[in-house]
Amino acid sequence: MKKANITIKDIAKELGVSPSTVSRALKDHPDISQETKNQINDLAKKLNYQPNTVALSLRQSKTNTIGVIIPEIAHFFFSAVISGIEDIAHDAGYHVIITQSNESFEREVMNTKALFNSRVDGILMSVSRETENYEHLQSLLDYDIPLVFFDRIIDSLNACKVIVNDEQGAYEATTHLIEQGCYRIAHLAGPQNLAISKNRLNGYKAALADNRYMIDDNLIKVCGLGTFEEAESITNEILDYRFPPDALFANNDVAAYGAMMAIRKKKLRIPEDIAIVGFSNWRFSSLIQPALSSVTQPGFKMGQEATRLLMKQINKAEDEESITETISLKTNLVVRESSKKI
Amino acid sequence: MKKANITIKDIAKELGVSPSTVSRALKDHPDISQETKNQINDLAKKLNYQPNTVALSLRQSKTNTIGVIIPEIAHFFFSAVISGIEDIAHDAGYHVIITQSNESFEREVMNTKALFNSRVDGILMSVSRETENYEHLQSLLDYDIPLVFFDRIIDSLNACKVIVNDEQGAYEATTHLIEQGCYRIAHLAGPQNLAISKNRLNGYKAALADNRYMIDDNLIKVCGLGTFEEAESITNEILDYRFPPDALFANNDVAAYGAMMAIRKKKLRIPEDIAIVGFSNWRFSSLIQPALSSVTQPGFKMGQEATRLLMKQINKAEDEESITETISLKTNLVVRESSKKI
DNA sequence: CTGAAAGCGCTAACAT
DNA sequence: ATGTTAGCGCTTTCAG
């Protein structure tokens, strides 16, 4: 026996008043007498009246929904971002529609179109790896759909952006090692065609320079494949130097893990013989790798900040000049083990 | 300069026809002449007409949207589920609204209400830890909202359910160890008030029994705290037995990791001296723990299956008898290292 | 083959 | 203080 959905009309008919009165009473409009208000509210509760948001959306041309387009949901970083998005959106009374592009350009375009058709009030997005054509995104801007990019942004588009300051993170990580008293710090770098890897290398170099350390190219090794076996063998190579490093800054967790393996096999201790800090997105890295310090990307915060920016845009008056902000988030340095100094 | 949204009316006016004609032409209705169809389609494309899904939803009382309520988004298992949900929903032309309860009952109730008000066509949900009152869920059923539970289900409710067969997974893991030639298999169990831990213990015992192995209570140790330090010290204890085990089945990844640490510190080899299999939800466990075999929960598949069940319910005719199915998914055994036998 | 009209559920300007 | 009306954008029955 399916219960029927109660509408404002039903309540109005039952009470012999007009739908508008009911509508007003339910939102506590001052024009309505307390008596009718009470009647209406009581009946509404009794019938378990639930307002139809769809009708409201149509009426107000506002869905109270934001759309999210990400490359991949089942990735710790992105799921943390989604969580941050939901957090802020929920508090602001917004729903969140999630779509994933699976790194496919075609699907990304489909998703933008679908979200547009759903008349979401704004879109948060991290572009797919394949995306090189920005028509679909420019189109959103043309229609004045509030749009905020996060993590994988498009520099050339005039929209709000939230990114992680990788260079600063690398700088901080390297500085941390320096402060621990390390004097020969190697870097397992990432492929230099990626901005992210380049930024991290730059941060590493800047930290060395600021502390009047020599930059030794022999201590900077690019891990092009991204496998941990590669990192392991490169680390091995470095450890065999006549003057091996006493610290290592890894571009990512895979490299850090490979380095750790190599070091352990040589029966060296971490961090006493050689300290490691690596960039990491693994949620449980603290549990798994208690020996490694890490620099983590603030995914949850990124989601929050991006959503805040979006809300600001959504709520700005029609005529206000829209300002495109870019927020650069600090990374977190998580120190796992007592320092060398102590 | 904001572009305006084009409606069917705009097209109709421009072409001097009625809105109904445009509506029909756009969906290739046979009544409309090819000529007008072409005109209309051409103009629609030129003006970049995008149908307003909100209006459609109101008209058809169907939103083509499903709602998801989960305890936590930023958890690998759940994010895998979401990914599976999005996968199937997308193919079926549905949008996915994500909400998280953060394990709070109150918030779960709010979310169900909000999704109901949004008139989603169905709801997928995994209940919060706090949930002991099911009125809000029964209410959904009363209104005939298609509802599917996954992972954290409510047994007593008459709805579709998708769960993981933990007992079978444990059975399989233990059998695997037996097949590798292990003869003394310990079990690091979880707190026995959780169904999940009990089921795993049962699977372990059943596998032993079916292979005519003795069940030795000294080899079954409950890890109540759930920290890996605890697992490490319990493993240590077991390893000091006069007849220590040559294999270990861990209730979860934390226990497996703790055991691994203990074993390594004793300079024993994995899996030659002692083999380990553990339940695990860590995404990168294969990368991090190449020495450990694991039993993984099929999160992605669970999302897919749950969504398929939901779609079936959504698409069933009004008068059809609704059948509540329960699907029990198999776990995956991922074997990481060459077996002992070889 | 096409148009007019009604209505999905709600709100808000405009009466009374 | 309450009712009437119109309309958000779309589909669909009924008429022509």
Give per-residue pLDDT as tens, A21-43. Answer: 999 999 988 888 888 888 899 99
Distance A54 CA to D10 C1' (A): 13
Percent of chain A with pLDDT over 90: 65
CA distance A103 to A131: 8
Q: Is A124 helix (H, G, I), strand (E, B) or coil?
A: strand
Q: What pLDDT is stored for residue A326 in this prediction?
A: 94
Q: What pLDDT is stored for residue A139 in this prediction?
A: 93
CA distance B144 to A4: 9
B282 vs A222, residue with greater confidence:
A222
Flag whether pLDDT at B337 surpasses 70: no
Mean pLDDT to the nearest integer, B13-30? 91
Q: What pLDDT is stored for residue A284 in this prediction?
A: 45
Which nucleotides of strand C lie within 7 A of protein CB? 1-5, 7-13
Q: Which of A248-257, A298-307, A333-342 has the highest mean pLDDT?
A: A298-307
CA distance A119 to B52: 7
Beta-carbon neighbour count of residue A1 at 10 Å? 4
Return the DSSP state at A29.
-
Q: What pLDDT is stored for residue A132 in this prediction?
A: 84
Token look-up 């494309």 returns B45
Percent of chain B with pLDDT over 90: 65
Q: What pLDDT is stored for residue A160 in this prediction?
A: 95
Q: What pLDDT is stored for residue A118 in this prediction?
A: 96
Q: What pLDDT is stored for residue A7 in this prediction?
A: 94
pLDDT band at A196 (very low <50, low <70, confident <90, very high): confident
Largest pairwise CA distance in chain A: 94
Q: What φ, ψ does residue B275 adopt, rounded to 5°? A: -90, 150
Q: What pLDDT is stored for residue A306 in this prediction?
A: 97
Q: Does B19 touch chain A (CB under 8 A)?
A: no
Mean pLDDT to the nearest integer, B243-259? 90
Q: What pLDDT is stored for residue A272 in this prediction?
A: 85
Q: What one-letter code names the amino acid at B7?
A: T
Of all residues in chain A, what percent are helix, strand and coil, respectively (each to 5)? 45, 15, 40
pLDDT band at B4 (very low <50, low <70, confident <90, very high): confident
Q: What one-letter code names the amino acid at B214?
A: M
Q: What pLDDT is stored for residue A209 in this prediction?
A: 97
Q: What pLDDT is stored for residue B323 in this prediction?
A: 81
Give per-residue pLDDT as tens, A83-105. Answer: 999 999 999 999 999 999 998 99
Nearest residue in B to A145, CA atom: B2
Q: What pLDDT is stored for residue A335 in this prediction?
A: 80
Token look-up 């506002």 returns A62
Q: What pLDDT is stored for residue B342 in this prediction?
A: 35
A294 vs A51, residue with greater confidence:
A51
Footprint of strand D on the protein (CB under 7 A): A 16-21, 24, 30-33, 35-36, 55, 58-59, 61; B 5, 7-9, 19-20, 23-24, 26-27, 51-52, 55-56, 58-60
Q: What pLDDT is stored for residue B248 in this prediction?
A: 94
Give per-residue pLDDT as tens, B111-124. Answer: 999 999 999 999 99
Residue A225's contacts (CB-CB under 8 Å, 6 or more residues apart) are: none
Nearest residue in B to A90, CA atom: B99
Q: What pLDDT is stored for residue A342 in this prediction?
A: 35
pTM value is: 0.88
Q: Does A192 touch chain B (CB under 8 A)?
A: no
Report the nearest residue to nucleotide C4, CA vs C1'.
B18
Give per-residue pLDDT as tens, B65-93. Answer: 999 999 999 888 899 999 999 999 999 99
Give per-residue pLDDT as tens, B179-228. Answer: 989 999 999 999 887 788 899 999 999 999 999 999 999 999 999 888 88
Q: In the sheet where B332-334 sits, what is the strand order?
A: B220-222, B185-189, B247-250, B275-280, B293-296, B332-334
pLDDT band at B10 (very low <50, low <70, confident <90, very high): very high
In angstroms, what CA-CA distances link B333 with A135, B171, B201, B277, B294? 45, 11, 17, 9, 6
Percent of chain A with pLDDT over 70: 94
Percent of chain B with pLDDT over 70: 94
Q: Find residues 55-94 of chain B whose CB sits inside 8 Å of chain A.
A: 55, 57-58, 63, 65, 72-76, 78-80, 82-83, 86, 90
Q: Find residues 271-290 of chain B whose CB sits inside 8 Å of chain A.
A: 282-284, 287-289
Q: What pLDDT is stored for residue A294 in this prediction?
A: 83
Mean pLDDT to the nearest integer, B157-186? 94
Q: How far is A209 from chain B (nearest CA, A)?
A: 34
pLDDT band at A159 (very low <50, low <70, confident <90, very high): very high
Flag whether pLDDT at B291 surpasses 70: no
